Amino acid sequence: MANKLLTQHKKNYLKQKSGLHNFIKKFEEKTVTGINAMVEEANDETWKEVECLSCANCCKVMTPTFTKADLKRISKHFRMSEKDFYNKWLETDKKNGDKVNRIQPCQFLNVEDNKCSIYEIRPEDCAKFPHFKRKPFADYSYIHIQNIEYCPATLKFINKLQEKIDAKFEW
């Protein structure tokens, strides 16, 4: 099921790739009146159609960034010191200093059922992923360029947002 979903996603993504990237990049130079309402609608419609437990691709091929608060909360849950937790599971991204997972899939993913074994205390980055509603939308649109290749929900969301914008504006 998951493989079929992701194979179809990859095909859809590759077919639309340059158009999608061009659309998302336009937010760097254009202001869209009413963008927040359109994002809300596209977000709600997307989550009626996407079931993350059939996918879990973000947990398999990407890593969350662990904040200080995440590190404190999750290491405490495992009764480990933050240092031991870091040494066991994490590393520091040389490009930006972020604390990230050392391995993929994530060590906390149960690959049998695609469930997160620390769901209630998962990193904030995971809880908010794929960050559709970060504001202002234009400032965070680059996130969707990073995620769209891997995340079927992001592809659906961007398709829906584009339909809404195209119906109202000439870009």
**129 by DSSP, 3-state: which?**
coil
In the complex, least distance from residue 126 CB atom to ligand SF4, rounded to whole angstroms = 3
Q: Which is nearer to ligand SF4, 38 or 56 (CB)?
A: 56
Q: Which of residues 12-31 bind ligand SF4 (CB under 6 A)?
A: none
Burial grade of 24 (CB within 10 A; 0-12, 13-18, 19 or more): buried
Between residue 96 and residue 155, which ones bind ligand SF4 under the rule CB under 6 A?
106, 108-109, 116, 118, 122-123, 126, 129-130, 150-153
CB of 49 to ligand SF4, least distance (A): 10
- From candidates 24, 38, 39, 52, binder to ligand SF4 by CB under 6 A: 52
HEC sequence for 91-126: EECCCCCCEEECCCCCCCEECCCCEECCHHHCCHHH
Look at the chain and count its residues.
171
Q: Between residues 32 and 62, which has the closer beta carbon with respect to ligand SF4?
A: 62
